[in-house]
Structure 1
């Protein structure tokens, strides 16, 4: 395995991403791990290394304005969540098709990393997506643990904190993590709408979700303290052109006490979850991989 850290230029000249390549010699599959809101790519390293053990190459990255992809004071970064799809995820997809042209391409999207599939122009260049604990964020559908306080976050804490600091100081508040102001503003607006992003943004985004035609497997957890089953179903219902498979896991059924929203990528789940539930979804031999048009092959690094 060769670990390479490098900078990826997006089509927006003002934004670059820090990515990590876990290259496996002679791999036939490449897996992009798109992280959750506020979770740095380093948290997924052990899962990426495990993918290497299974013979696959893996790629992690930080959205612009998060983790290692912060290149200036956070209050000066104007990115929003739609741009994470339009520029960041788009750049990753184009990079994979240019640099791993003969490999089957999987996308493992954790939480917002699954949502962004509907906000990225070239999603259909992926062969298959697996979403992990990924649902809509409408607060009235959230799990009871989150619903108890999230209304205060969206209607008071977040707007006040952003107004005072110029960004969301999530690390200091022990909520989500530090985030750019525009991303946080967009997120709280979506979370107040019963149809989340597509409800707030309108028909153009609903149509973009509907245009996604890749197979999608949703893996979610009954003890997720943020996403209820209703959140999960709501998000995936927007992918009307995709073949969808929904897997709902009770931790007790795989010999675990708790998984929740932010724990599946920890290596304690190597055997019970990664091996038994995720790996079978990455071993689907019926997928025919897609080729990127030759005119789009060049990627600036």
Structure 2
């Protein structure tokens, strides 16, 4: 099914972190020649469901503050991207609900990874986790300090798993690499659920490696046939999924490091439990570049 009137959607709230996400979303919209939809949502008390209802002047003042924040974000984006079609929406509802509802009409939902605490849950943020779990589109989480640059020509990292969401993520990652004119770094992690004291710090055993490479090559083959112009590097690691993927994001010279990571929302092998579990939260919270989470029921893309 092809969804009409697609756009890239980004949520803002007046913070610097949200502006970073909006700038990244604008570049993605330019890459795809799609409009950018900037949403700012605010909660308001519902009559009859609260013991206290704010006086109309207070509500109007709050609305005006948020209109100003939204206009400022749009103005900054238009200044930096003068040829981009930028549209704005101020909504009076929970930000999580607004972004999830909007995701039904967007090609990609973009949000910032906020939070300043040490706990991973705090680093990711409640809005990000909720949107990842419920959005109808792929969701990109942009770190507060985005080190991806413009992302063009830098590798796209794909976290490979064997589930339905893994297949959807593969398709997304190959298309992203094609759009950027970059190579794909496909990483399969052999998850160590049991300790390996004798092998600690060593590469996967030969038998494990051969079987994993065969599995990985078989999963990638249909997509390589569809996207023959995309160079693919296949990597197998043993360890915990999130740390192994983060290591791949941080190794090597800056120009050779991935500018984007793509993972499935839930997996059955190396990335098992990636949606709301510790792996996804750890990866998104600590990635130096944007992470796109792709759900298995993701729609066909319209560009």
- Alignment TM-score, normalising by the size of structure 2: 0.26
Which of 1 and 2 has greater Rg?
Answer: 2
